[in-house]
Chains A and B, each alone.
Chain A
Amino acid sequence: MGKPRSHKAEKVLERLEKKLNRQIVMSLAACVHCGNCSSSCHYVLANPDDPTYQPSYKADQLRKLFKRHVDWTGRVIPWFVKAKSIYTDEELEELKDVVFGKCTNCRRCSINCPMGVDHATFNRMARGLLVSVGVMPEGVAVVSKDQWEIGNQMGVLKEDYLDTLEWMEEELQEELDIPDIKIPVDKMDCDVVYSINPREVKYDPRTIAEAAKIFHFAGENWTMPSEGWDMTNFGLFSGDDDLGGAVGRRLYEKTEELRGKKLVISECGHGYRSTRCEAPNWGKIDVPFVMESSVDTMLRYIKERKIKVDKNKNTERVTFHDSCNNARSCGLFEEPRELLNLVVTDFQEMYPNRTENYCCTGGGGAMSMSEYTPNRLKSAKIKAEQLKATGAKYVVTSCHNCVDGLTDLIKHYELDMKVTQLVNLVANALVIPEKVKEPEVEKVEVPVEAEAPAEAGDLAGRKILVVDDEPDILTFFSTVLEDNGATVIQASDGDEAIEKVRQEKPDLVTLDLNMPGKDGGQVFEFIRKDEELAETPVCIVTGRPELRRLIYDRPVPPPEGYLDKPVDEETLLRNVRKILAVG
């Protein structure tokens, strides 16, 4: 007879094997304890002398159970593979403090692991095991209950939600003096169904009004659902796949019922990841429509010229914080930068950034677990230093969790900085079209079109340097630009580009990134750092968007334009005209 085991411990072990999948088993088996993960984790960096924060230590708390109860090595040589079992409720509580209190599931350690161990994935699994026997922080229990029972994580009732939307609609009508601006609810056959975070409706609905403003001026056919509007998902944090699937299903079913063509998810990292990537798997659901982040939506509106923005309305220095779920888990990190550069004048990158960025420290549901707040704030030291070094007045993030995590640490570390989101900046930069007034005297017989095509030859007198190592591109760009009146100079590598830009002082440079000799990034930095040339507008042209970091990581103001190859005639001209303020 073995040692007696509590009922909960029994259940946890029973369910362990069922929760395993190939990725988790690989992650549990592959760790070689090299310690690379330690220097990745913000908890370790703030607590260097406490080994219990190390990702490998945290992982071992689950790994020992796996070795003991699943893996064959634990049965044969348990002492060698450190296989151990779990017996009491106290041990479960200890495990809870590790998996909920010492890890935000941000996955920074995973990307630095040479063995590909995905720590956050099995940490989430461990959370799910504990939740299945009722062992979890109180905050997680309360929020999960609300999401199960009321249908959103803050217990917002349907009439209050609808009342708030109506209120925002009235405020917008008043602000803009446009009586027909609407926040449509449950409109059928829309191109966009917009889902939000309950935090927006319960505490700060300004973001809803701002999104509505953008949709309105973009001429979007959009709606908000009366139910199934909460795109956050506590299933991701609690490890409860059933909850995760149920929450996702509500959104998907409502969107289908409304015959919506696209589900747009407001700026929320975990909501985006859960709704777009995870919930279809948790709930085993085929989702027949497209889902996208509102970041993509707003960027598209600007690119397609559905809305006009003026970046001079946002002149204070901003930096961008990548949410772990957006950047590391979903690859959404260039789009927000592209959008940001279109709506602010002074963007300063923080280091490290993109997939290497440090956690906001409020991730993984940490904001709802008060018991761990002191540790959370202590571990935010590295984040605070990272923010401070940018000298920015605003930190922009596309995640509500990050908004709250960052706000908390900014207060704690007394930084002179505010948190904002892209929707706020885009709405602020929006150029509101002047109201069309009825002509009072006489009608002028001139054909006026809303988007009058720019006349050929309107680039006359403009000198443009085209830099590219591909002869076809050089010829194509030159022909198009010359046909429209521009004087074109060509350079086919970096050194020649620098020489020509010095000699000719062009009005605009279109710059390829990947070239022999000095690459486009070096040429760009040279131009920006040269006193005489610094103001020369530069439009980057590249076939490899991942090379953007070559540009945006440089300590100089960002380029005026950015084009992805292949570039067609219309796109080239539109962008050149925009940069030169022609047409």
Chain B
Amino acid sequence: MATFEWEDVKIEVDEDGFMEEPDVWNEKVALALASTEAVDELTEDHWKVVNYLRDYYKQFGIAPMIRKLCKQSGFTLKEIYDMFPSGPAKGACKVAGLPKPTGCV
């Protein structure tokens, strides 16, 4: 466990930089986490993805399949990868404050 600081944001993250307590997430935290993921700016599109991931996680306790994310948000796979260069698992989920996805990723 480590503490991650960015501007006035101070959060607990795991060794891979994912949030330890997804409940304390807010938009400022998202900006802070985005700074570690080569995402310079969170556009409206980014927020659409992030908000979908959060809603899904709140409901089911896991990260959604990329299929669901694309279907619901209306973005193509390529658009998701363009927005979050590390991909949906490591990039988008991290910014959305989800814990690290399980498995060998």
Which residue numbers of A lie inside 8 Å of B, CB to CB? 139, 142-143, 146, 153-156, 160, 163-164, 167, 171, 198-199, 201-206, 232, 362, 365, 367-368, 370-374, 400-401, 404, 407, 411
Contact = CB atoms under 8 A, between A and B. Distances in A.
Interface in B69-105: 70-71, 77, 86-90, 100-105
Given A155-B62, A160-B68, A164-B67, A371 B103 contact: no
Contact of B15 (A146, A206, A371): A371
A295 B14 CA distance: 36
Contacts of A365: 104
B105 A163 contact: no
Interface of B: 14-16, 18, 62, 65-68, 70-71, 77, 86-90, 100-105
Contacts of A163: 65, 67
A370 B68 contact: no
Which are the 4 A-B pairs with shortest beta-carbon distances? A373-B15, A367-B104, A203-B89, A164-B67
Nearest to A376: B15
B104 A205 contact: no
B65 A156 contact: yes
Given A203-B88, A365-B104, A370 B15 contact: yes
A505 B42 CA distance: 60
A205 B14 contact: no
Contact of B104 (A167, A201, A204, A362): A362
B87 A203 contact: yes
16 contacts: A143-B102, A146-B102, A154-B103, A155-B102, A160-B65, A164-B65, A164-B67, A199-B104, A199-B105, A203-B89, A206-B77, A367-B104, A370-B16, A371-B15, A407-B90, A411-B86
A155 B64 CA distance: 11
A204 B86 CA distance: 11
Contacts of A374: 15
A401 B105 CA distance: 7
Interface of A is mostly: helix
A150 to B, nearest CB: 11
A371 B16 CA distance: 8
A362 B65 CA distance: 23
Contacts of A167: 67, 70-71
A204 B103 contact: no
Contact of B102 (A139, A160, A171, A373): A139
Given A370-B16, A411-B86, A199 B103 contact: yes
B104 A232 contact: yes
A203 B62 contact: no
B104 A202 contact: no
B11 to A, nearest CB: 16
A401 B16 contact: no
Given A198-B103, A204-B77, A404-B105, 14 more contacts: A143-B102, A143-B104, A153-B104, A160-B65, A167-B67, A202-B89, A203-B66, A203-B87, A206-B77, A370-B16, A373-B14, A401-B104, A407-B86, A411-B86
B95 to A, nearest CB: 15
A164 B88 CA distance: 15
B66 A368 contact: no
A373 B105 CA distance: 12
B103 A368 contact: yes
A371 B15 CA distance: 6
A368 B16 CA distance: 10
A113 B103 CA distance: 32
B86 A160 contact: no
A373 B62 contact: no
B38 to A, nearest CB: 8
A159 to B, nearest CB: 10
A202 B100 contact: no
A161 to B, nearest CB: 9
A76 B62 CA distance: 55
